[in-house]
Amino acid sequence: LAKTTQPISMDSYEGQEVNITCSHNNIATNDYITWYQQFPSQGPRFIIQGYKTKVTNEVASLFIPADRKSSTLSLPRVSLSDTAVYYCLVGERDKIIFGKGTRLHILP
């Protein structure tokens, strides 16, 4: 199972673009990369998933380089409500593990 490493915490300001990078050096061929967001006192919420190159949805973009040993979640123009914990998960169909995540704090 691929181990992921991401920063414990990050601060940013409203209106800025935030990039959170996750490293997963031993990612396997069949592994997908998934990001979840968790607000205080709530369950995690799926944000985005990708396998390679770039994926974009209405909430975020996910950039994955060719070697797939890392990935970057990009949140455009963050607001105070984006303050949350962001989890990077790597795994194939039947096994994923939530790490400690990155605690993102958005400042006014």
Partner 1 sequence: DAGVIQSPRHEVTEMGQEVTLRCKPISGHNSLFWYRQTMMRGLELLIYFNNNVPIDDSGMPEDRFSAKMPNASFSTLKIQPSEPRDSAVYFCASSLAPGQSYEQYFGPGTRLTVT
What are the residues binding partner 1 (CB under 8 A)? Answer: 32, 34, 41-46, 49, 87, 91-101
The residue among 67 and 94 lying less far from partner 1, judged by its C-beta, is: 94
Spatial CB neighbours of 27, under 8 Å, sequence gap ≥ 6: 2, 33, 68, 69, 90
- Spatial contact of 64 and 50, defined as CB atoms under 8 Å apart: yes
| Closer residue to partner 1 (CB): 44 or 61 | 44
**Minimum gap (Å) between residue 98 Cβ and partner 1:** 4
**Pair of tokens at residue 27:** 């990612």
Least Å distance between CB 45 and partner 1?
Answer: 7
Q: Which is nearer to partner 1, 1 or 107 (CB)?
A: 1
